[in-house]
Amino acid sequence: MKIDKEEVMYIAKLAKLKFSDEDAGELAIEFEGILKHFDSLKETEQDIKDIELEEESNMELREDVVEIFEDSEKLFSNVKDIDRGYVRIPKVID
């Protein structure tokens, strides 16, 4: 898949980042390399589909235990704004 500077600049705009044209060109090259790597992983997946895996039976998992955290004041000590027990955050939609 071909990635050009315009696509990098569009992605940067969505992420609210700013890059120079030179940086966008370098990032386009890096993105292409990453996408080529994913393509090679897809090819490898086809090669290993027929391999059967051995299950490891000696692995022990711990029990999940639900615990109620009673000290809500301590829990929300670093929160900027709380409204009736809910954390209020800034609007994130443009």
Q: Is residue 21 in a domain?
A: yes
Q: How far apart are CA 32 and CA 3, in angstroms?
A: 6
Residue 41 has a pLDDT of 83
Tokens 């709380």 found at: 82
Say which CATH number the domain at 10 has. 1.10.20
- Mean pLDDT, rounded, for 73-94: 86
Tens digits of residue pLDDT in 17-72? 999 999 999 999 999 999 999 888 887 776 777 777 667 667 788 899 998 888 87
Domain ranges, residue 12: 5-47
On whether the CB atoms of residues 76 and 87 are closer than 8 A, the answer is: yes
Please report, in angstroms and rounded to a whole number, the separation of the first and last CA atoms in the chain.
Answer: 29
Q: How far apart are CA 82 and CA 68, in angstroms?
A: 20
Residue 48 has a pLDDT of 73
Total structural domains within the chain? 1
Read off the amino acid at residue 88.
R
Beta-bridge partners for 33: none
